Structure 1
Amino acid sequence: MSSARVTRSGRKALESGESDKLPSRGIRGKKGVQVVYDSAEDVEKKLKWEPPNWQKHLENIRQMRRGRDAPVDQMGAEKCFDQNAAPEVMRYQVLLSLMLSSQTKDQVTSAAMTKLREHGLTVQKILETGEETLGKLIYPVGFWKSKVKYIKQTTEILREKYGGDIPDNVAELVKLPGVGPKMAHLVMDIAWNKVSGIGVDTHVHRISNRLKWVKKETKSPEDTRVALEDWMSRDLWSEINWLLVGFGQQICLPVSPRCSECLNRDICPGAKKKKDFFL
């Protein structure tokens, strides 16, 4: 039996790692005083921070995203690879689509991936393709010149070290040229069907801060990922990226968000700062 409250000394015991020394308190009942201990699980649950209204925020965003008609739904990384290709080729194409997507709109990434697939999008074919030709195929994705070099370098590593496949863990993925944490977690989810972390891009980063889904304002997507994973249930991690990205593309825009159209307008900390949204 566990108590319903956490004492100050109980909090201190948990934070110091001495969960086996959590204090007891007496409860007087018909059979006298009964000693009741706070379990470590009870105390930890009560100490865990969660954002106010986050469940309602999430429910409303799901409702607004029910049509799945944002650019990410039609042209995101999950739509850019050849689903009839060999598994290792599909995984390679997922990786490249995410490398191209950085600082690039989904429409542009999708167009570049279409040209690459028509050209031949396998490890061997890309290694046989000159940088000038590759550049013409992926232009005008953001930072296309740098991405040409990253793609060539990464593809060479995949052939030499991974037999033409891609790494199956985040630690090895982020060692590849041009691959960061966000891409690595999305690759794990899409290519390997494994949830390793939340893929946080600029949309997820922005919206998480607007909704106050982070304890304090975060300065980078990676900081946001760590903050979200600290409280968010792991079974939500895979959903959050596509859900918030599409929401950010359609309603919670970077500039002039459409708060008047948002179901969270009355409970969003970000929207409440601008009274004109409710006029």
Structure 2
Amino acid sequence: MLAASRRLPLRRTRAATDTLNTVEAGRVANGSARESASATRNGDGQSESELSSVPSEAGSDSRGAVVGRKRKRGQAAPVTVKRELDEAEVAAVASPRRQGKPKKARRAPAKKITGRDGSVKIEPPPNWETIYALTREMRNENVAPVDTMGCESLADRAATPRDQRFQTLVSLMLSSQTKDTVTAVAIRGMQERMPGGFNLESVLALEPPALNAFINKVGFHNLKTKYIKQAAEILRDKWDSDIPDTIEGLTSLPGVGPKMAYLCMSAAWGRDEGIGVDVHVHRITNLWGWHKTTKPEETRAALESWLPKEKWHDINNLLVGFGQTICLPVGRRCGDCKLAERGLCPSAVVGKKTTIKEEKVVAKVEGSGRDENVSKKIMVVEQRDIKAGDAQCGLADIEDIGRPSRYRR
């Protein structure tokens, strides 16, 4: 009669011992038995995490060199971990997807052309009218803070023309490094609570701490308090208690730069003598590739060399609002931009480039009578934005403005 149960042999074969040591090494490298069991199979039917012996030294058998020292019972095998890193790039996938054979968006700045007689003419960037019209179309669809709280609209229309001009100047001085919403609140507070009303005489009568209390939410309010008080004294003494009507006079006031001066001339005096270039105008026109400038004054000179004068006043409001709603300084919404959709902006983010980093972990198990290597591959995916200048995008003509897009996402 056969026994109901058999006793396991006390001595294990060498093959069985090797198998157990191999499994133990696999667990060290993979972290857990569950990860080892879930490893995917490769083409020859073996698991990617299946253990393989270390190549033997010359003159030794295929099982590997035998280590002289032995491991005590119950003692864990020492493990040496080595990491290797390989990188591979995946082809860029541009989006939005277009139909047909798209063209590449390129930077096409304004060009300086010298005639035979030595005269210099600036040729505008190609498609600038299409870009301008599409941007205006997007601005009309999205109300921006500058539309309701911009410096041009903050002066009290019930005040005298002189006081309105002074309020516009102060609004521009406060707007530097400050959001329109904050500037609007400060101006409204002075209009409603300043003793004697918001005018030059009231500002002159206020002590600096009292004036600072009205504007303490704007950026650099302590410095701006000093500038406003100094400017008010200059206006009283040199400009007959009114603001200057020239760019030179406005820029002579403390805290007033060229951008403020041109905007003030336009808003307060109704004269467009130059383009007010703020951070949005400077940043966006460079993104469009109209020029390659590093300073706002360079941008102003570049734009004034070819942009029609009737647009000098409009372009600031146009691009400030565009920069507040779609082409933001951080996190541009290129997916909502018609310029990106039609391939007109070379800086539009239209896709992602994926880089796969393959990290190989090797665990070397010692003390088991042989050396075993266990490798595990870890994939790390990194992505970066693809600009339209590096991808394929379609171009549109000015006649297409107002029509449904020919391209579909």
TM-score by length of 1: 0.82
Equivalent pair of 2:152/2:267 in contact (CA under 8 Å): yes
**Residue type matched to 2:290 in 1?**
W
CA contact (8 A) 2:334 2:349 kept: no
For the pair 1:13 / 2:116, whether they are aligned, the reply is yes
Task: Indicate the SS of the match to 1:275.
Answer: strand
Q: Does 1:51 align with 2:125?
A: yes
Distance in 1 separating the partners of 2:129 and 2:325: 21
Higher relative contact order (CA 8 A, sep 6+): 2
Residue 89 of structure 1 aligns with which residue?
A: 163
Distance 1:11 1:222 in 2: 23
Q: Matched residue pairs, number?
A: 239
Indicate yes or no: 2:369 matched with 1:258.
no
Alignment of 1:62-141 (within 5 A): 62-67=136-141, 69-118=143-192, 119=194, 120-141=197-218
The change in CA–CA distance for 1:235 and 1:159 in structure 2 (over 3 A counts) is same
Paired with 1:213 and 1:276, the residues of 2 have a C-alpha distance of 16
| Percent identity between the two aligned chains | 47
Asked whether 1:173 is paired with 2:255, we answer: no
Counterpart Cα distance in 2 of 1:154 and 1:49: 41
Q: Which residue of 2 aligns with 1:269?
A: 346
Distance 1:243 1:138 in 2: 27
Offset, 1:275: 3.4
More helix, by proportion: 1
- Distance in structure 1 (CA, Å) of the matches to 2:141 and 2:326: 13
Partner of 1:182: 259
State the partner residue of 2:95: none
User: 2:216 and 2:289 mapped to 1: Cα distance?
Assistant: 37
| Alpha-carbon displacement from aligned partner over 1:140-175 (angstroms, at most 9, x marks no partner) | 111111000000000011111111110001011000
The alpha-carbon deviation at position 13 of structure 1 amounts to 3.0
Pairing partner for 1:212 from 275, 289, 295: 289
Counterparts of residues 150-161 of structure 1 (less than 5 Å): 150-161=227-238
Please report the RMSD computed on the Cα atoms of aligned residues, expressed in angstroms: 1.9
Q: 2: distance between equivalents of 1:170 and 1:127? A: 23
Q: Which runs of 5+ in 1 are unaligned?
A: 1-9, 18-43
Which deviates more from structure 2 when the two are superposed, residues 227-236 or residues 48-57? 48-57
Q: In structure 1, what is the Cα distance between the partners aligned to 2:269 and 2:285?
A: 26
> What SS class does the counterpart of residue 272 from structure 2 fall into?
coil
* SS class of match (1:48): strand
Greater radius of gyration (CA): 2
In structure 2, list runs of 5 or more residues that go unmatched. Answer: 1-112, 351-384, 394-408
Q: What is the DSSP-based 3-state SS (H/G/I as helix, E as strand, rest coil) of the residue aligned with 2:256?
A: coil
Q: For 1:183 and 1:70, how far apart are their aligned partners in 2?
A: 20
Partner SS for 1:173: helix
Distance 1:48-1:223 versus aligned 2 partners, 3 A rule: closer
Report the CA distance shift for 1:270/1:196 in structure 2 as closer, same or farther (over 3 A).
same
Q: Which moves more between the two structures, 156-165 or 105-114?
A: 156-165
